[in-house]
């Protein structure tokens, strides 16, 4: 993700923390900054969901992506990647 008018890592944290907390609370998923921690205008946020059905996982990830786009105009989602693993993935 590309952050708006952020000029320091401290300012980045003040933008990212509420977004992560909001995503975590509303989606009941595990959410964390997982990349680009040393860049002040970019970040990578990971969302992890465990569910019995793949459709529920997709619904939660869709909801999280919509929330980022609709409720946080100060950021730009540059890309989104998904991976689905099942209990039989060894």
Residue 84 lies in a domain: no
Q: Is residue 66 part of a domain?
A: yes
pLDDT reading at 81 higher than 70: yes
Mean pLDDT (whole number) for 20-33: 91
Residue 20 included in any domain: yes
- Does residue 82 belong to any structural domain of this protein? no
Domain that holds residue 25: 2-76
The Cα angle at residue 70 between residues 7 and 58, in degrees rounded to 5: 110
Q: 31: which 2 tokens?
A: 């959410």
How many structural domains comprise the chain? 1
User: The domain that contains 32 carries what CATH number?
Assistant: 3.30.70.1120
Instruction: Evaluate whether residue 35 is within a structural domain.
Output: yes
Q: Is the pTM of this model over 0.85?
A: no
């Amino acid at each position: 993700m590309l952050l708006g008018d952020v000029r320091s890592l401290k300012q980045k944290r003040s933008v990212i923390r509420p977004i992560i907390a909001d995503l975590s609370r509303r989606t009941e998923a595990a959410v964390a900054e997982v990349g680009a921690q040393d860049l002040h205008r970019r970040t990578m946020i990971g969302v992890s969901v465990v569910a019995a059905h793949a459709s529920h996982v997709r619904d939660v990830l869709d909801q999280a992506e919509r929330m980022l786009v609709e409720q946080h105009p100060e950021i730009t989602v540059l890309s989104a990647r998904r991976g689905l693993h099942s209990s039989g993935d060894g």
